[in-house]
C-alpha cells in the first residue's frame, strides 16, 4: 500500500506542476505590469524546479509520470482565453491564477490525505508544492 500511495501522490504532483506551468505560460505574455510578469516568471521557475524533482522521484521509484487530464487542460485554456477576451487586465490574470492555485491546493491536499501511507519524501514534495501554490495565490492578491 505504501508504494501505491507514494506513486499516487507523486503522479498528482507531476500533473499539478505541469498544469501550473501551462497556465502561467498561457497568461504571462498577456500582462501589462512588469512586477506581475516577474512574479509569474519566478513562480514558473519554482514550479519547473519542483517538477524536475518530482520527475526524478518518480524515476527513482520506477513510476511513470502523469500528464494533466486532456479535457481539464482544454477547459482551462478555454476559460483563460474567454476571461481574457472579455476583460484583458492584470486583475483578470490574477483572478485566474488565484482560482487555479486554489484548485491545486485543494487537489493536492486531498491526495496527501487520501494516501496516508506514502513515504515522507513524496509527502514533503507535495507540501512544498502546496506552499508554492499558496505563495503565488498570496502574491496575486495585490493585482485584484
DSSP output for 73-129: HHHHHHHHHHHHHH--SHHHHHHHHHHHHHHHHHHHHHHHHH-TT--HHHHHHHHHH
- Separation between Cα atoms, residue 116 and residue 1, nearest integer Å: 10
Residue 108 is predicted with a pLDDT of: 93
Cell numbers given for 12: 498528482
* Rounded Cα–Cα distance for residues 93 and 98 (Å): 9
The pLDDT of residue 1: 46
Q: What is the pLDDT of residue 114?
A: 85
> Domain coordinates of the chain in residue numbers?
2-143
Q: What's the pLDDT score for residue 48? A: 98
Q: Name the CATH code of domain 2-143 (choices 3.10.580.10, 1.20.1260.10, 3.40.50.1370, 2.20.25.650).
A: 1.20.1260.10
Give the residues of the chain that fall short of pLDDT 50.
Answer: 1
Q: What pLDDT is recorded for position 100?
A: 95
Rounded Cα distance between 98 and 6, Å, is 27
Residue 10's pLDDT is 95
| pTM for the model | 0.92
Other C-beta atoms closer than 10 Å to the C-beta of 25 total: 11
Q: What is the pLDDT of residue 101?
A: 96
Give pLDDT, residue 69: 86
Using DSSP's 3-state secondary structure scheme, residue 1 falls into: coil
Amino acid at each position: 500500500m505504501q508504494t501505491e500511495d507514494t506513486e499516487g501522490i507523486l503522479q498528482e504532483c507531476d500533473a499539478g506542476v505541469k498544469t501550473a506551468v501551462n497556465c502561467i505560460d498561457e497568461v504571462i505574455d498577456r500582462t501589462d505590469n512588469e512586477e506581475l510578469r516577474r512574479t509569474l516568471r519566478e513562480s514558473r521557475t519554482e514550479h519547473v524546479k519542483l517538477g524536475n524533482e518530482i520527475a526524478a522521484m518518480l524515476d527513482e521509484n520506477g513510476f511513470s509520470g502523469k500528464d494533466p487530464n486532456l479535457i481539464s487542460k482544454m477547459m482551462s485554456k478555454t476559460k483563460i482565453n474567454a476571461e481574457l477576451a472579455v476583460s484583458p487586465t492584470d486583475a483578470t490574470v490574477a483572478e485566474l491564477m488565484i482560482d487555479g492555485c486554489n484548485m491545486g491546493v485543494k487537489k493536492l491536499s486531498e491526495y496527501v490525505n487520501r494516501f496516508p501511507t506514502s513515504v515522507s519524501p513524496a509527502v514533503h514534495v507535495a507540501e512544498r508544492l502546496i506552499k508554492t501554490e499558496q505563495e503565488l495565490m498570496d502574491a496575486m492578491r495585490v493585482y485584484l
